[in-house]
Chains A and B, each alone.
Chain A
Amino acid sequence: MADNLIKIDRVSKTYERGEMQIPVLSELSLDIARGEFLALMGPSGSGKTTLLNLIGGLDKPTSGAITVGSERIDQLSQSALAKWRSRNVGFVFQFYNLLPVLTAQKNVELPLLLTSLSGSERRKRALAALAIVGLSDRAGHRPNELSGGQEQRVAIARAIVSDPTLLVCDEPTGDLDRATADEILDLLRLLNSEHGKTIVMVTHDPKAADHANHSLHLDKGKLVSEDAAA
């Protein structure tokens, strides 16, 4: 029996826009094993980013249960959910979302501000994370002094600096050229295989999905197919 890290049980999500109800996910159930590298694919509006947000604790389902590890995250309060995210999840976005006024090292340190670590310990860990993504020599650079690929590496370093179990990546290569995208995907794969991170990645790009262990296809809020990849 697989060791499931994430258990999604009959989850529905409906957004309200004024008086209009917009169903995005419908009675979706899914188990994701610990150590998995899963790609979520599907057309725009299929609900893949919504599912990713639910898994990462950025949003709550309208109904159903989401269990990550032993925690029912759909039942946590907003403040408890924030604390849970800081300890258990690393986020990687398409547009990197680094703070432009901070250096790479300071950006990576951000999640550690929520811990009781000393300044020197935070710095040490940030530099270690930057070393993992191959950017030790760019620690003092601001985002506008980095290439897109380097910015995404900094974002990945920020995602892993607090050693979370789970990485959620929303189109991490969507803003990069093919070669840089492959480097980023190789890095994610390394984090999965060597560092044991469970990764859930949303992508439109079939070549990106090929780097994952499995791909799931969504359409209109439902799972429609599953592919075994690499």
Chain B
Amino acid sequence: MKYLGLIWAALYRKPIRSVLTFASIFVAFLLFGMLQSVSVAFSQGPEFTGVDRLVVAPKYSIIDDIPLSYRNRIASIAGVEKIAHQSWFGGTYKDPGNFFPRWPVPPREFLEVYSEYALPDEQKQAFINTRTGAIVGKSVADQYGMKVGDKVTLIPDIWQNKDNGPWEFDLVGIFQTPDEEFEGQMFMNYDYFDEYRAFGNGGVGTFVVRISEPDRAAEIAQQIDGMFANSNDETKTSTEKAYNQMFAKQMGDIGFIMTSILSAVFFTILLLTGNTMSQAIRERIPELAILKTLGFSNLSVLLIVLAEAMLISLVAALPGLGLAGLALPAIGQVSPFLGGAELSSIVIVQGIALSLLLGLIAGAPPAIKAMRLNIVDALGEH
């Protein structure tokens, strides 16, 4: 610690260069914090989803439908406790930028399967009993100023109705979930949707099955898929978590492209910064020779130089990561797909480790040179 003043003072040697180096690393780690958090968000399923729920999806493409008639056959399988279904609605609420997923579902069954979706009993009953009823998550209601009793009008894109006009739903409830991320959705009464749509009647997107024995998940999934094998509408059953990951992965392809581009930017910044830091230390070789003259050992000089490089890297990286942590929720508001992205402790630890590694890599060549330098030669050059 007694060397800290000496190490810190070196950063003031060329303040402008230090500030620019600091800024580069800051931006690099701002990017890192956001990219890693988005990556983690794409790769992880929601925490409360367990293996007690299975998703039965079309085998070949999520844009296919499954016949609603499968419901009773799936429900007859031993171990299946509850069954619901949901379908992708799409559509536009006032403006194409107002994106939140909308799903027609059978209200009673859906709320039984997703028992963690909480809303007052009278709203629950209203959803079950209102043909044109719909519920939205609290975050959607807050964002768009919706309240129970409102009419919610959606302009269709996929599902035209029989009048070829807008869809109108009655908002009868506002639900909350343990994880706020899942409040960014809207659910409508499937019966109304199915009856009023112009085509595709009798089909659903996926079935969601609650099973009584999670240990038998794999066996039940096999039974379900086996039941519909070789039919026109084969199914692929997986745990809810695996299905969510598969769904997210499709978004992840976009994420991958974004991650690739930004990673290239990140590493370019790191290389330039590393080079600048190395150059800054090389310029101080005569000063380091003085330290050795005064009796600082080779190891001390090596550690001082490395500590300096790692210090500037760390000091710049921490606010970069901090800003990423503040920015992610704001980005999640704009882009619902990134709603779950947050700066987790693992990303912070990774960022700190990476910043120290950057300092180590940038500082190592000049530090080794400083350690090995011959005092007489170095002073002679001065």
A residues touching B (Cβ–Cβ < 8 Å)?
53, 58-59, 78-79, 82-87, 91, 93, 95, 97, 99-102, 106, 110-111, 113-114, 119, 158
- Whether, in the assembled complex, B126 has its beta carbon less than 8 Å from a beta carbon of chain A, the answer is no
In the assembled complex, the CB of A71 is this many whole angstroms from the nearest CB of chain B, namely 14
Given the interface pairs A79-B297, A82-B297, A119-B2, the reply to whether A99 lies near B290 with Cβ below 8 Å is yes
A-B contact count (CB 8 A): 64
Given the interface pairs A106-B9, A113-B3, A119-B2, the reply to whether A86 lies near B376 with Cβ below 8 Å is no
Contacts of B5 in A (CB 8 A): 106
- Whether, in the assembled complex, B286 has its beta carbon less than 8 Å from a beta carbon of chain A, the answer is yes
Cα separation A24 to B293 with both chains bound (whole Å): 21
Q: Per-residue CB proximity of B296-307 to A under 8 Å, as 1/0?
A: 111100000000
23 CB-based A-B contacts, threshold 8 Å: A58-B293, A79-B298, A82-B292, A83-B295, A85-B293, A91-B293, A97-B293, A97-B379, A97-B382, A99-B6, A99-B9, A99-B290, A100-B13, A101-B10, A102-B9, A106-B5, A106-B6, A110-B291, A110-B294, A111-B294, A113-B2, A114-B294, A158-B294
A86→B375 contact, CB < 8 A: no
B295→A82 contact, CB < 8 A: yes
Q: Which of B3, B291, B299, B379 has the most CB of A within 10 A?
A: B379
Contacts of B379 in A (CB 8 A): 58, 93, 97
Q: Can you name 12 extra interface pairs (CB under 8 A) apart from A86-B295, A97-B290, A100-B13?
A: A53-B376, A79-B298, A82-B292, A82-B295, A82-B298, A85-B293, A85-B294, A85-B295, A91-B294, A101-B9, A113-B2, A158-B294
Contacts of B6 in A (CB 8 A): 99, 102, 106, 110, 113
B residues touching A (Cβ–Cβ < 8 Å)?
2-3, 5-6, 9-10, 12-13, 286-287, 290-299, 375-376, 379, 382
Cα separation A204 to B342 with both chains bound (whole Å): 69
Cα separation A85 to B12 with both chains bound (whole Å): 29
Cα separation A20 to B375 with both chains bound (whole Å): 21
In the assembled complex, the CB of B277 is this many whole angstroms from the nearest CB of chain A, namely 16
Top-7 shortest CB links A-B: A86-B295, A101-B9, A85-B295, A97-B290, A82-B297, A111-B294, A101-B13
Contacts of B12 in A (CB 8 A): 101
Name the one of B13, B286, B292, B295 contacting A87, with C-beta atoms under 8 angstroms: B295
In the assembled complex, the CB of A14 is this many whole angstroms from the nearest CB of chain B, namely 14
> A89's closest neighbor in chain B, by CB?
B295
B295→A99 contact, CB < 8 A: no
Contacts of B2 in A (CB 8 A): 113, 119
Given the interface pairs A79-B298, A82-B295, A85-B295, the reply to whether A95 lies near B382 with Cβ below 8 Å is yes
> A112's closest neighbor in chain B, by CB?
B2
A97→B286 contact, CB < 8 A: yes
B375→A59 contact, CB < 8 A: yes
Contacts of A119 in B (CB 8 A): 2
Name the one of B291, B296, B297, B376 contacting A58, with C-beta atoms under 8 angstroms: B376
Contacts of B287 in A (CB 8 A): 97, 99
Cα separation A82 to B296 with both chains bound (whole Å): 6
Contacts of B10 in A (CB 8 A): 101
A59→B376 contact, CB < 8 A: yes
B298→A78 contact, CB < 8 A: yes
Contacts of A83 in B (CB 8 A): 295, 297
> A118's closest neighbor in chain B, by CB?
B2
Contacts of B290 in A (CB 8 A): 97, 99
Cα separation A119 to B295 with both chains bound (whole Å): 19
Cα separation A70 to B292 with both chains bound (whole Å): 23
Cα separation A99 to B292 with both chains bound (whole Å): 13
> A86's closest neighbor in chain B, by CB?
B295
> A155's closest neighbor in chain B, by CB?
B290
> A100's closest neighbor in chain B, by CB?
B13
